[in-house]
Amino acid sequence: MCGICGFWGESPEDNLHPMADAILHRGPDEAGYYWDPQVGLAIRRLSVIDIGGGGQPLRNEDGSLVLVYNGEIYNYRELRADLQSRGHVFRTQSDGEVILHLYEELGVECLGPLNGMFALALWDRVTRRLLLARDRLGIKPLYYQQRPGQLLFGSELKAILRHPDAQRELDQVALDQYFTFDYVPAPRSIFRGIQKLLPAHYLLCQPGQIQQFRYWQSRYQPEVPPRSLNEWTEEFDTRLRKSIHSQMVSDVPLGAFLSGGLDSSTIVAYMAEASSRKLSTFSIGFHEPAFDESAYARTVAETYGTDHHQHTLGADEIMEVVPEVTALLDEPLADPSVLPTFILSRFARRHVTVVLSGDGGDELLAGYPTYSAAPYADLARHIPKFLTQRLLRYLDWWPASFGNWSLDFKVKRFLSRLYYPPEERNVLWIGSCSPEDKLKMYGPAMLQHSNTTFEPFSIGSRIDRHLDALNRLLFLDLNFYLADDLLVKLDRASMSVSLEGRVPFLDHELVEFLSAAPTRYKLNGWKSKVLLKELGKRKLPASILNRPKKGFGIPVARWLQGPLRSWLCDLLQRSELERDGLFNHIGVHQMLNEHFSGRRDWRKQLWSLACFISWRRGWFHGKQ
């Protein structure tokens, strides 16, 4: 696991070193550089496979190809054996070297055989062509900035911004999207002119042109003839076991994140069965019962005899890491779970270098309650709007309950977002700010951008309109929420402490398999993850299978009233809000007063504002 960066187009070699230094945390073990008058490549390496011999940049036999690469190729041994049978000579035992030899055989089609997570830059000295590519699900990040005759790229924004030609200008369209989604959806970044390479895409930079192409897309095609639930479960068992076993290959200590939820518990069950050594597992606990899952994690750990490590988290520790997390994120991220994920990663890194995580299960098998609520919302849309508005005004007089997705919070969210199209409604249920919230929050500079909020849905036909209602929402969350929130959170939190996070549910062959599963095996009424629960009957205690979903978060609503109150008030003072005309201090302070008094629950809106202003202080008025 590493961080990569560089440029295409004329630029002095000296510019490579500060770019690589900016991502030292991603690869503390060694640095590598390549430069010629047309291209510069740099790597910061965290050694996981072939610790002693896999240094980068990697070159082929005649030195005509040069590669820097971040990630893991899980099927590299099979690919290597095939390539050796074709006469290719390998100099290292690293997984990355297979990419070079595949390129010799297939050109840009070399991406097809790769099973893994990766972001790569491959320079072809003969054709003078640079290939930039990102894995199918977007597990590993890659940003780029295109300028006349030049392209800058990096695993993180901070690498690009260290180049003297990079421009640091806030993209207000991206900011508006952030306040809706809780993150900046690709292809934009928070900085104008810097983009994220979309998952399953590659860029070709060659004299006279830069082109972007898609090389893969998951298909939600039903299988013909249909199979029974038991047949699907049997194949799911085989495929998931294969994915987990392949991702357990490591030359350094390995463990697993264990929340006690269905996804991570299933991963741990398979890992424990496959490992000849006692498996290390790691979890976070909370003093607040509504957020604490530690008892479930301990149950799974005891069932499989893991060496379990638990860290109990309080508000004081959260406050200590907020500045550090803001600096590592590059972009504002209003997902509060990034904070415990960072602390959990730092905690696990004391013991292991690689962890497996359960990310992806919810987006593949309909694990969120929003999927169950969607059909009822489609029915409720026929209620006259004035009646729901009257009901919402009545509910506003109820005192707010600040628990973990409390009933009044869910009811108000359900009704207030009811009349939007299904895809937009799905985002608005989970995200921070509705259009009505923005009218209260925004200053004049931001109000002009609110008509571009859902622009990402139309870029590159990213939503397949031919899918049924459930699969359309799953496709949406897989390509947006998972790629631009959950995987960003895992990557930044783990790589900030030089910990590699792997995600077995996102093996692309497994994704293709689960995408094609009948919807009744994903969601049946209010029963979610039907297929995974069927599999779990063979592996997990009943208390894990039947437990309610909590989600991995922190008690934001209560902490903003209490231990985080002074931090919040400092960030949301009038001078900060009105800087550059972005926000309306009157509307925001009304939200603050209502939240502090307990009259309204504005946790998500206030948290997203605080996260942005904290980020802005560091990235525009600090030393990032």
Q: What is the pTM assigned to this prediction?
A: 0.93
Distance, CA of 252 to CA of 272 (rounded, Å):
17
The CATH 3.40.50.620 portion of the chain extends over 229-317+337-366+473-545
Q: Break the chain down into helix, strand, coil percent, rounded to 5.
A: 45, 15, 35
400 has pLDDT over 70: no
Record the tokens describing residue 76, joined without a space. Answer: 């590299």
pLDDT of 416-470, one tens digit each? 888 999 999 999 999 889 999 999 999 999 988 777 788 888 765 556 667 889 9
492 has pLDDT over 70: yes
Confidence of residue 392 (pLDDT cuts 50, 70, 90): confident
Confidence of residue 589 (pLDDT cuts 50, 70, 90): very high
From 1.10.150.120, 3.40.50.1820, 3.40.50.360, 3.40.50.620, which CATH number describes the 229-317+337-366+473-545 domain? 3.40.50.620
Residue 147 bridge partners (DSSP)? 150
Place of tokens 């509060």: 336
Structure confidence at residue 101 (pLDDT): 95
The DSSP annotation for 502-570 comes to: E-GGG-HHHHHHHHTS-GGGTEETTEE-HHHHHHHTTTS-HHHHTSPP--S---HHHHHHTTTHHHHHH
Answer whether 105's CB lies under 8 Å from 84's CB.
Answer: no
- Work out the percent of the chain whose per-residue pLDDT is above 70: 94
From 3.60.20.10, 3.20.20.100, 3.40.50.300, 3.40.50.2300, which CATH number describes the 2-214 domain? 3.60.20.10
Structure confidence at residue 623 (pLDDT): 46
Q: What does the buried/exposed string (b/e) look like for 534-549 if buried means 16 or more CB atoms within 10 Å of the residue's CB? A: bbbeebbeeebbebee
551 has pLDDT over 70: no
Record the tokens describing residue 516, joined without a space. Answer: 């094609």
Tell me the average pLDDT across 496-507: 94
Structure confidence at residue 405 (pLDDT): 60
Distances (CA, A) of 311 to 19, 297, 314, 549: 34, 12, 10, 21
pLDDT of 90-103, one tens digit each? 888 889 999 999 99
Among 147, 153, 93, smallest CA distance to 119 is for 153
Number of CB atoms found within 10 A of residue 127's CB: 13
Distances (CA, A) of 538 to 20, 275, 436, 533: 47, 18, 47, 9
- Higher per-residue pLDDT: 232 or 618: 232
Dihedral of alpha carbons 81, 86, 87, 92, sign: negative
5 is catalytic: no
Confidence of residue 415 (pLDDT cuts 50, 70, 90): confident
Beta strands in 135-221 (DSSP E): 143-147, 150-154, 194-196, 201-206, 209-214
Task: Give, in degrees to the nearest 5, the angle at Cα 139 between 357 and 257.
Answer: 10
pLDDT of 361-389, one tens digit each? 999 999 999 999 999 999 988 899 888 88
Number of CB atoms found within 10 A of residue 91's CB: 13
Structure confidence at residue 460 (pLDDT): 53
- Higher per-residue pLDDT: 531 or 226: 531
Cis bond upstream, residue 541 (ω within 30): no
Tell me the average pLDDT across 405-409: 66
Structure confidence at residue 510 (pLDDT): 97
Distance, CA of 132 to CA of 442 (rounded, Å):
37
Structure confidence at residue 402 (pLDDT): 61
Answer whether 507's CB lies under 8 Å from 139's CB.
Answer: no
Structure confidence at residue 75 (pLDDT): 95
pLDDT of 332-344, one tens digit each? 999 999 999 999 9
Record the tokens describing residue 576, joined without a space. Answer: 């900060």
Confidence of residue 396 (pLDDT cuts 50, 70, 90): confident
- Higher per-residue pLDDT: 43 or 398: 43
622 has pLDDT over 70: no
Answer whether 427's CB lies under 8 Å from 180's CB.
Answer: yes
pLDDT of 166-203, one tens digit each? 989 999 999 999 999 999 999 999 999 999 999 999 99
For residues 606, 609, 613 and 615, what is the CA-based torsion angle, rounded to 10 degrees? 110
Least confident among 166-175, 248-257, 407-416, 602-611:
407-416
Tell me the average pLDDT across 121-146: 96
Which amino acid, residue 39? V
* Averaged pLDDT score across all residues of the chain: 90
Distances (CA, A) of 296 to 24, 275, 361, 542: 36, 22, 18, 11
- Higher per-residue pLDDT: 219 or 417: 417
The CATH 3.60.20.10 portion of the chain extends over 2-214
- Higher per-residue pLDDT: 93 or 607: 607
**Would strands 280-286 and 307-313 be described as parallel, antiparallel, or unpaired?**
parallel
Instruction: Name the active-site residue from 2, 205, 433, 611.
Output: 2
- Work out the percent of the chain whose per-residue pLDDT is above 90: 65
pLDDT of 264-316, one tens digit each? 999 999 999 998 889 999 999 887 777 778 889 999 999 999 999 999 887 78
For residues 482, 488, 494 and 495, what is the CA-based torsion angle, rounded to 10 degrees? 140
